[in-house]
Each structure stands twice: as C-alpha cells, then as structure tokens.
Amino acid sequence: MSGNDTRFGKLALTHSQSERASDAARELCDQIDFVPADQADAMIVVGGDGTMLDALHDMLEGGKSLPVFGLNLGSVGFLMNRYRGAAGLIQRLTKAKPLGVKPLRMTVTTQSGETHSACAINEVSLLRETRQTAKVEISVNDRVRIPELAGDGILLSTPVGSTAYNLSAHGPILPLGSGMLALTPISPFRPRRWRGAILPDQSRVTFRVREPEKRPVAAVADFREIRDIAEVQIEVAHEMEMTLLFDPGQALDERIVAEQFAH
C-alpha cells in the first residue's frame, strides 16, 4: 500500500526502541511505503508519550511541523491513539480529528550571564538543585505577584501538560480550548496557603531566583535541563502551533475532561 493513499499524502514513521514498538513498526512498514520526515506530509509515531514528545521536539528544532498520529505501545499514552495493528490505519487517518497544540518558549539567563532558549510541549519547571529550599520571585506581565516562593520549585503548564507533572503537583486540569496556563508550586513552604494560579495564555511569566549561589535552581523545559539559573521568562509560542491527530471520540480534549472524573 502506498503512503499516498491518505488525505495527508506521504507518511513518515518514527518509533521507540522497545521490542513491542519495533515489531509494530516492522508490521506497518510491510503495508505502507513510508518516506523520510523531510519529504512527508504527516507522521506516524509508535511508542508512548515520551516518544511523541521526542518527535514533536525534533520537528520544533527542525523547523517543519507535520500533523502527527500516535499509536500507543507505551505506558500511559495520553497523547496517543490505541494501537490496533497495521490494518485499517489509512482509514483511521482519513477520519482523524486534528487538535492544535501550542508550546511554551522559555528564555533562561544563567548566573554566569549566558542566555538559552528552549520549548516545552508539557511544562517548564524550576527545581532546586540541592537540599536547600529554592526561593523564587514570580512576576506576571512584569508585575511581581509572589515576592518570594519557598519550596521545591514552581512549574508553568500548558493544557496538554496539565495532566502530567502539573497534576502530580496537585495543579488543575485545563481543558484544551481554555486558552489558559497552570502556574503550580511544587511542595511549597511559603506562602503556606498559596496553591497556584490559572493564567491567560497571553501572559508572560518571569521567575527570578533569590540567593542563587546559596540556593541553586535548574530550569527544565519538558526534558531539557539548564542549571544554575538566575532568571527565566516564559510565554506561549503561538506561531509554533503543532497538530496532533486523534481517532473520533478519542481526542485529547475528551480525555482531559474524563481525567477529572477518574477515581
């Protein structure tokens, strides 16, 4: 079967190195003529959420964004569709529903004055590097909202990431169409009663590390870590919207609603 037999044209394939995902990839290659990613109109990702994040970050760094259809052979598979074998995959793609995902862009200034930039599909988190409690000043749109947060750290999550680390830190689950971001403290000590905030996705959030030499802090965009930071600025990269494809009735927005009723 040709990769041209779908409304997305030519298809590329990437997969995790697990035995199950590798076997599935071979099965798919027997039925579909895949092309390299730079020649493709859409991509099939086989694995788990980590594999999907890797694929999305590769596209962000490569400057070419393809619609992505994930097939879950990992653990959670929140960003994926159910794997049902190679048969019928083209028909599933034809019926798939698109979902736009906008990443966060963080700009980091380190204690030595270096500047780094990275994107996050799920969240940007600040984490203490040592046993010393982190102390962070939090500003929104250049207005200081928390002069000093003391705790293990702080994170800013997209709706996609709101069911990941954010949820583990007792942050809110955000519907995908909400246009909001979740600002969630990680094991906060002070202010004792502050449990975070929900912000419009037009917001610019700035974290400044207090006492950085004594209390070093790392910034992590999904899985890219930058250590010994002094300041982090974060905003949504609206111009870098990406597209995930889901089977009808299995879209991520429905999963986010369903997650709020899980027990």
Range of the domain at 188: 104-239
DSSP 126-144: EEESSSSPEEEEEEETTEE
Average pLDDT of the residues in 146-152: 97
pLDDT tier at 4 (50, 70, 90 boundaries)? Answer: very low
- In the chain, what percentage of residues exceed pLDDT 90? 79
Structure tokens at 180: 């909001």
pLDDT tier at 2 (50, 70, 90 boundaries)? Answer: very low
Please give the pLDDT value at position 56. Answer: 94
5 pLDDT more than 70? no
Nearest to 44 by CA among 61, 62, 25, 23: 25
- For the stretch 176-192, pLDDT in tens is 778 999 999 999 999 98
Main-chain dihedrals φ then ψ at residue 161, nearest 5 degrees: -85, -5
- For the stretch 54-63, pLDDT in tens is 999 999 988 7
Residues 64 and 153 in one domain: no
Is pTM beyond 0.95 here? no
Please state the domain count of the chain. Answer: 2
> Any idea what DSSP says for residue 173?
P
Average pLDDT of the residues in 218-239: 96
CA 118 to chain centre: 12
Which CB contacts under 8 angstroms, 24+ apart, belong to 113-120?
116/226, 118/221, 118/224, 118/226, 119/57, 119/60, 119/221, 119/222, 119/237, 119/240, 120/158, 120/161, 120/221, 120/222
Average pLDDT of the residues in 77-86: 89
Instruction: Report the 10 Å Cβ neighbour count for 84.
Output: 11
Contact 149, 185 (CB under 8 A): yes
Residues 59 and 97 in one domain: yes
Residues 59 and 175 in one domain: no
CA–CA gap between residue 160 and residue 56 (Å, rounded): 13
Please give the pLDDT value at position 78. Answer: 83
Please give the pLDDT value at position 193. Answer: 87
Residues 38 and 163 in one domain: no
Please give the pLDDT value at position 77. Answer: 81
Query: What's the chain's average pLDDT?
Result: 91
Query: What CATH number does the domain containing 42 carry?
Result: 3.40.50.10330
- In the chain, what percentage of residues exceed pLDDT 70? 93
Residues 132 and 186 in one domain: yes
DSSP 56-95: HHHHHHHT----EEEEE-SS--TTSEEP--STTHHHHHHH
Look-up of token digits 């493709």: 40
**Residue tagged active-site, from 5, 23, 33, 49:** 49
Give yes or no: 201 in active site: no
Please give the pLDDT value at position 3. Answer: 43
Sign of the C-alpha dihedral computed for residues 51, 218, 118 and 168 taken in this order? positive
